[in-house]
Amino acid sequence: MKIISINVCGLRKLEKEKFRWLKKLIHFHNPDVLAIQESKRKNVKDGLVEMLWGHQNFNFVFKSVIGFSGGLILIWDPSRFNVVGTVERDYFLGIRGRWVGKSADSIIINVYGPHNDNLKHKFWKSLENIMQVNIDYWVLCRDFNEVRKRSERKNCDFIANRAKMFNDFIDTMHLIEIPMGGTKFTIFSDDSLKYRKLDRFLVSEGCLGSWEGITARTLDREHSDHCPIILKDLDNDFGPRPTRIFNNWFGDGTNDDLIKDAWGLVLEIQGLIVSSVIS
């Protein structure tokens, strides 16, 4: 599993440097799923997505801009994530399917949360209603437009009741925030005086059991006020491991004979190799 999420602050044709930056980012990290917020586009066509993705092996869905802000895009590689449906509400867009090699259903939700207090309350309730569906794996990403605690902002107002709503939602839905490596904050003001952590990955407990060593970190910020963030599992860092050994195999002694026989076979093979070299 490898997901990149980024608030692009607009995808306009004239911003060639931003497009080149995004293409380079996608090519280098080769994500399974890309979640884009604030595209600020009413329409998203195949040509635009192909230019960003770099090849034709993709599918995508989008949610149009509302007024002068918003606009969500989800792009994925169908050879890695098989989508069977979508979900769309105010302020979020999701895809439902199965990761290749996994037998359980997953939903990935791309979020761009509202700023207004009343809208925030409706937003959290809407997400809660969607998440009543019995799904094994949930991944929520990115721009929730809210901090969880005072230390997640600098030179910005901390509004305790907003943070409480956010934390209550996380607790109610039994979600887990993946600790973020890289920079402490994810959005920076133009004058570099205000910082906040508005972007993060929230996952269901099942994800931690199904993917080993899930990590998240920020990536370099170049043409947006937000840092891109990436979520991936251990297999994406080091490749598939040829063997897996679990501690409980050795706990009750039931596998002692099997281990002895296997070790004896290894010694026998080593002896044959040594004899062959000597002769």
Q: Token pair of 60, please?
A: 């995508």
- Please tell me the predicted confidence (pLDDT) of residue 69: 72
Pairing of strands 215-218, 180-181: parallel
Quote the CA–CA distance of 144 and 151 in Å, as a whole number.
16
pLDDT tens digits for 49-76? 999 998 899 999 999 987 767 899 999 9
Q: Which of 262, 268, 197, 195 is closest to 229 using CA atoms?
A: 197
Give the Å distances, CA to CA, from 68 to 8, 12, 45, 71, 94.
14, 13, 19, 9, 22
- Please tell me the predicted confidence (pLDDT) of residue 237: 54
Task: Identify the burial level of 110 via C-beta atoms within 10 angstroms of its C-beta, where 0-12 means exposed, 13-18 middle and 19 or more buried.
Answer: buried
Task: Identify the burial level of 204 via C-beta atoms within 10 angstroms of its C-beta, where 0-12 means exposed, 13-18 middle and 19 or more buried.
Answer: buried
Q: How far apart are the first and last CA of the chain?
A: 50
244: confidence class by pLDDT, cuts 50, 70, 90: very low
Q: Is the pLDDT of residue 136 over 70?
A: yes
Q: Is the pLDDT of residue 144 over 80?
A: yes
Hey, what amino acid is at 11?
A: L
Give the Å distances, CA to CA, from 7 to 69, 87, 160, 243.
11, 20, 25, 39
pTM above 0.85, yes or no: no
Quote the CA–CA distance of 52 and 49 in Å, as a whole number.
5
212: confidence class by pLDDT, cuts 50, 70, 90: confident
Percent of the chain past pLDDT 70, that is, above it, reads 86
Q: Token pair of 171, please?
A: 């607790």
Give the Å distances, CA to CA, from 21 to 11, 51, 71, 182, 217.
12, 12, 19, 19, 18
Mean pLDDT, the chain, whole residue set: 86
Least confident interval from 138-147, 182-191, 245-254: 245-254
Pairing of strands 137-143, 106-112: parallel
